[in-house]
Structure 1
């Protein structure tokens, strides 16, 4: 099955096979392995030891995003969050549910975050200590300019939290060049092409030391994870870790090292272009214009045809060996196709053929968009 969702992604068999043995997370061999793995993650983010720390947390991207918000903002702390789409809105809700004050920065659903607008908002409200930005907005497919936004945050003397959940491992990131970033957060099961179950924050050590006691949660406290690292070493893990998932991640990083982040991004971009041009050739209309389309996910307007049914379409695709999401996160109805994972442009060409056939299977004859 070709898994074309923006995470979990299609993985290599060698990555899945790495989970094939039992591991004891408190064993000394595992502790050495975990310390080495955290070092690999730290270097991939452009972090340096001891200025930064790679902090593992069991669970999904939402868990580590909430942990960062709780850790680096005190209760009642105020954060500006560009409303980039579905995942920007989720960051807003996570902050609010944690008792922090999220101040949305309105923007168009197909727009990139405007650094000048961020600068104006910070200048107008000196109580905002942080900016939270989604690097790759999988709700729309737009990629936001983290260095450009970071530059205005840095100039304003504020801090930044970056959600790189569907960006890390492919899109450029260098924490050593962005000292305003308290933490970048991400998971293993997207551009790293590993398996779900583990998330990471790469964070500034000085900020972690300054934020002890903020979280109001033992489970979601990055400062406490860091304190444990200092006390027990980088091979330590609070609570029971997903040991086999970490083993799979280590194997996946071998493939990333061999390919290189720039080459991985080029492959994803070629995947996207094959899909984007392919669906246009079928008479369908992508959600974004080509100049704003990122390499991670393509959303496609649904056909204006009474036979259209998203679940029926998903089922028809699945019968042809292609699996996509059975929901959408754009303001208008779309279907979404991920372009990341252990896949190639040839796989995307096959997916385009399957989309064409699936539309015919469910009786769609008019493929122009409802809301284009």
Structure 2
């Protein structure tokens, strides 16, 4: 089966094989593996030794994003969230239910937020301490660029939490060049092509130390994870982790490096996206984003106007042809989405395009223009 969703992603056999073992997470032989993962992740993030630390947390991206908001934004404090996609919607809810006051910066889910919009919102409300921004919106496929937004946040004297869950490992970022970032968060099962189960924050040590007591949660307190590492060592785990996922992640990190690291991973994903974007256009379908706004992680496509089209039967028809995609959409207009990340190639994208064409023919879908 060709798995084309934006996570969990298709993985290499070597990665999956590493999880097929029983491991005691506190065994002395596993400590250097865990400590090595933390160091490798810091290096990929462009963090500075002694200034940044990798703080793992069991669970999905929502868990580590909530932990970052709870840790760095004081209870009752204000956080600005550029609101241009489904995962920003979720960040709004996470922050609100954690007792933080959200200032939403609304925008369409078809373009990135601009530095001018962020600067204006921060100037209008001096009480905002942080911006929490989604790096890559996996609903539509747009990219909110920290290279543009970060300087605006820094110039305003505020702090940034960057949700890079579906971007880290492919889209470039260097924490050394972004002193305004308190934490960059991501998970094991996306662009680094590991198995799901672990979240990570690469955080500025100065900020995480100052944030002690903010979280209001023991489980979701990144400062407590940092203090545990100081007490017990960087190879020690605070609570029982998805340890087999960590073992697989170590292999995935090695494969990432062997491929050529972030630049090579991005180049493959961009080519995947290009082949897919051009391919669906060639079938008469309408991508949700024009190519100039298209990110490398996922290509989202307007559902056809033909009354014979329905998403679940379409997904089922693709699955019969060996291609598995998401059976839901979370854009402002009805769409379907196809992941370009994971251990997949441009040739796999060509296979997917042919399967899409065959599935539409099976369903009797002749009108393929967007159902606007």
- Paired with 2:239 and 2:8, the residues of 1 have a C-alpha distance of 24
Query: In 1, distance between residues paired with 2:112 and 2:263?
Result: 22
**Alignment correspondent of 2:64:** 64
SS of alignment partner, residue 153 of structure 2: helix
TM normalised by structure 1 equals 0.99
Q: CA deviation at 1:366?
A: 1.3
Q: For 1:161-310, list aligned pairs within 5 A.
A: 161-259=161-259, 260-310=261-311
The Cα of 1:49 is off from its aligned counterpart by 2.1
The aligned counterpart of 1:21 is: 21
> What's the CA shift string for 1:257-309, capped at 9, x where partnerless?
01121011010000001000000000000001111011101110111111111
Q: Distance in 2 between matches of 1:10 and 1:242?
A: 19
Matches of 1:102 and 1:238 in 2, distance apart? 30
The size of the alignment, in residue pairs, is: 371
Distance 1:221 1:84 in 2: 27
Asked if residue 360 in structure 1 is aligned to residue 356 in structure 2, the reply is: no
Q: Deviations over 1:42-76 (max 9, x none)?
A: 11101122111101100000000000000001110
Consecutive unaligned residues of structure 2, counting only runs of 5 or more, are: none
Normalising by structure 2, what TM-score?
0.99
What is the rounded CA distance, in whole Å, between the counterparts of 1:166 and 1:244 in structure 2? 21
CA–CA distance in structure 1, aligned partners of residues 371 and 161 of structure 2: 37
Q: State the superposition RMSD in angstroms.
A: 0.7
Supply the distance in 1 between the matched residues of 2:8 and 2:96 (Cα, whole angstroms).
27
In 2, the alpha carbon distance for the partners of 1:267 and 1:336 equals 18
Greater than 4 Å deviation, 4+ residue runs:
none
Question: What is the CA–CA distance in structure 1 between the aligned matches of 2:353 and 2:147, rounded to whole Å?
Answer: 34
Task: Give the CA deviation at 1:100.
Answer: 0.3
Cα offset, 1:211, TM superposition? 0.5
Separation in 2, partners of 1:18, 1:202: 24
Deviation sequence 1:88-112 (CA, Å, 0-9, x none): 1111110001000110001122111
SS at 2:30's partner residue? helix
